Structure 1
Amino acid sequence: MNIKKIMTVIILALLISLSITFLAFRETPQSRLDMVDVNDISQTLAEQWDHLKTIDLPGSKYHMDYIVADNKGKMLRATRRGLNETINSAIQNRDTIVDITRSNQVLGKLIIYNNTNRLWKKYHDSQFGFFVVMVIFLSLLCISYALYLNRRVFRPFCKLQVFAQNVAQGKLDIPLEMDQDNLFGAFTESFDIMREELAKARENERLANQSKKELVASLSHDIKTPVASIEAVSEIMIIKSDNEETKRQLGVIYSKADQINTLITNMFNATLEELQELSVTITEFSSLELNNMIKNSDYNCRVNLSLIPECIVLADKLRLMQVIDNIISNSYKYAGTSISFSASINSKYLEIKFKDYGSGVEAEEIPLLFNKFYQARNAKGKSGTGLGLYISKFLIKKMSGDIDCKNEEDGFAVAIRILIA
């Protein structure tokens, strides 16, 4: 039975109930006297007036209650007790008063009891009972329909709401559970098919992105090998060449190969980081080893080293070397000045700071320097991808350290905080 049929039945039941109630209240009780019956009673009483106290009062077949009174209003006989016994009370009750006459002589009064109030009370009681029954019936009907709606409509909608929330949150592995006889069975089946298709599409997208990232990582790794060979051969040729022009040209080749190698390394590392495959292995080593790391990165010998406090630090040597190399390379590229170096112990960190004497960057750009692919305005006309500081911050954070930068009065400084064991 579908919802249309149920609605039709309920509407018909309501209309029938309202019609019955209207008709029942429309028919009001009426108490009309039959004057023929009244005359019959009056004539019978007149004929038997002399024996009034001994005879049976006529009128039982007429279903009338009355009293018989003399001309002074004193009650002589009554069909039952509880009737109005005086003329005044009869008038107040709007009883019918008829003269009993014989031979044009008024013998007494026939007072017909007006039972309209009693009929109205009886009618009111019966109608009130009918009204109560109808209210109970309609209430039960409404409650039954409400329970039906709750079971067949509202509960399914609540399940649909939870299902939509799960889909919005990306929980595509939770099916939509519905009864087989549910009114929304076709919709729920469609929604569940949509969920399955979304899950498939998301998985396909994930696999496609995974495949692209793996391809980029693989190509980046493969390209690094021939680039490294170009760097090595050009470096050997520079050493062996005696011609200054040839050395200059070979230097350009070496510089561009090194630039390509740096870009490939950054792209490779960024791809691995998105794949969550950029491993960081933290070990303990002496802070004095930082001297060799800086010297290996400072191939132009521009860093003025100072004493490093001796302690045991927790870091990944290879990744820390990568961070230091990136900072020194940026100073070479954007400042082109000498670099001062300082180190100090600050609470549980060893803080090392590199400072060049270039023009720095705009103050509002400093918070953005560690964003992926962001390049400051002073980088225009210079090669770069905006990944170096982004990768450096990612690596330092994975080593439980921190990195930041700031403008100083006479240059630009980058500070690295390395966790002490």
Structure 2
Amino acid sequence: MSAVRRALIDNAEALVFLLATLVVATLLVWWSLFSSGLVGEVLQLSTTLANLESDDVVRAAALGEATARAERQQVMLLGEGSVFAAMLLVCTGALFLVARARRDAGRRMIRLLQFTTHELKTPIAGVRILLQSLQLGSIPEEQRARLLAQGVLETERLAHLAETILAFQRATSKARLKPAPAASEPLLRELLELRKKTFGDEEVALGAVGNAEVKVDRDAFRVVLENLLDNARKYGGGCVAMSARTVDHRWQLEVKDQGVGFAPGEAERLFAPFERDDRSGVQTGSGLGLYISRQLMRDMGGDLSATSEGPGKGATFTVTLSVAGGDRD
């Protein structure tokens, strides 16, 4: 069923155009038959009137019947013409919506290609210069460890960029995730340990998270957590606090930072694709992280939301997942 649904979505424009063509063709055929029948009735009535005797009473009755029939036909023409126009408007509107969706998808793809080209250049150039310097032996021994660590960081940045692009493709193509039960606390600690190997200096305070059994796609959740921590690293400033609780069979993970924050009315704007807050002076990043993260969470049957008390007061991002087997504290 999912394959059929994806095929329908991928070919929506062609299907709508085909439907519009069939509707118009059917209505035109019906209209032609109806008009032909109406002309036939008019000719028959003319013949009947011509054959009538010159009795004024009989002629008046025949004319009255013809007038009543003409009025009924006029009402039918108006009603069916209105249905015809309405169906044409619906088909035109559907084609317009599909065309606009295609146009927006094309624009997103162009922006993604521009972003990818820009973001790839910097780490690739850095790693290339590092390798060339090592090959030439021009790096002092005391600086090698630091520069090699920087090279590893750049390769991690490339890996994360690749994951972001793949996640964006998954989010836009509606590829189905595979949530499975997993204990929340070991999952969080495992992901944070992997994160620590890349950003050893990152301050993440993990508070009480319980040990709820949640329905989660591990790979998708890792992308979400990476994006939230990257966002906090760029805009948060200082320590990031994480804690979780279970409310009404829903596990809620809060990621709090102490950064630039945002006006409460701007929360939804943060989840639009290619949106980026430039107030902090951060020029890196795709503007896709939060958009992708919310899409992935919703595909897992959860959600992602953001709150802030205002600019300069930090932000809280809340990840929500369904509980599979209850709390095991």
Q: Same fold (TM over 0.5)?
A: yes
Structure 2 counterparts to residues 280-299 of structure 1, below 5 A: 280-289=177-186, 290-298=188-196, 299=199
Q: How far did residue 160 of structure 1 move?
A: 3.6
Deviation of 1:155 after TM superposition, in Å, equals: 8.0
Of residues 132, 139, 142, the one that matches 2:64 is 139
Task: Output the CA distance in 1 between the equivalents of 2:79 and 2:316.
Answer: 63
- SS of 2:287's partner is coil
Q: Do the aligned partners of residues 243 and 405 (structure 1) sit closer, same or farther apart at CA in structure 2, a change above 3 Å counting?
A: farther
Q: Which amino acid aligns with 1:133?
A: V
Q: Could you give the per-residue CA deviations for residues 266-289 of structure 1, whole angstroms, max 9, x where no partner exists?
A: 233222322222x31111111221
Alpha-carbon shift at residue 159 of structure 1 (Å): 6.7
Task: Name the aligned partner's letter for residue 330 of structure 1.
Answer: N
Higher relative contact order (CA 8 A, sep 6+): 2
Match of 1:418 in 2: 321
Unaligned runs of 5+ in 2: 1-35, 325-329
For these two proteins, the number of residue pairs brought into alignment is: 254
Taking a change above 3 Å as real, the CA distance of residues 150 and 331 of structure 1, as seen in their structure-2 partners, is closer
Of 373, 381, 405, the match for 2:306: 405
CA distance in 2, matches of 1:291, 1:156: 67
For residues 147 and 341 of structure 1, the distance between their equivalents in structure 2, rounded to whole angstroms, comes to 73
Is 1:349 paired with 2:246?
no
TM-score, structure 2 length as denominator? 0.61
Say which one has the larger Rg: 1
Report what 2:163 is aligned to: 265
Q: Partners of 1:257 and 1:293 in 2: how far apart?
A: 18
Corresponding residue number in structure 2 for 1:332:
233
1:350 to partner: Cα distance: 2.2
CA contact (8 A) 1:297 1:324 kept: no
Secondary structure at the counterpart of residue 319 of structure 2:
strand
Q: Does 2:85 match 1:161? A: yes
* Cα distance in 2 for residues equivalent to 1:380 and 1:410: 17
Question: How many angstroms apart in 2 are the aligned matches of 1:379 and 1:358?
Answer: 9
Pick closer, same or farther for the CA change 1:367–1:142 going to 2, 3 Å.
same
Residues 368-393 of structure 1: per-residue CA shift (max 9 Å, x gap): 11112111242544211211011111
**What code does the residue aligned with 2:85 have?**
Q
Matches within 5 A, 1:391-402: 391-402=292-303
CA distance in 1: counterparts of 2:244 and 2:205, whole angstroms: 12
1:213-362 correspondence to structure 2 within 5 Å: 243-277=141-175, 279-289=176-186, 290-298=188-196, 299-300=199-200, 301-362=202-263
CA contact (8 A) 2:212 2:323 kept: yes
Q: Is the 8 A contact 2:261 2:308 kept in 1?
A: yes
Q: In the TM superposition, what is the alpha-carbon distance from 1:169 to its structure 2 partner? A: 5.8
Q: Secondary structure at the match of 1:378?
A: coil
> Residue 289 of structure 2: which of 374, 383, 388 is its match?
388
Alpha-carbon deviation of 1:143?
4.0
For the residue of structure 1 that corresponds to 2:315, the secondary structure is strand
Check 1:144–1:411 CA distance in 2 against 1; reply closer, same or farther (3 A cut). closer
**Cα displacement string for residues 291-340 of structure 1 (whole angstroms, at most 9, x for unaligned residues):** 11122224334112234312211111111111111111111122341212
**In 1, Cα distance between equivalents of 2:236 and 2:184:** 27
- The alpha-carbon deviation at position 249 of structure 1 amounts to 4.7
Task: Name 1:368's counterpart in structure 2.
Answer: 269
Q: Is the 8 A contact 2:206 2:242 kept in 1?
A: yes
C-alpha distance in 2 between matches for 1:362 and 1:412:
10
SS state at 1:358 partner: coil
Question: 1:24-61: per-residue Cα shift (whole Å, max 9, x none)?
Answer: xxxxxxxxxxxxxxxxxxxxxxxxxxxxxxxxxxxxxx
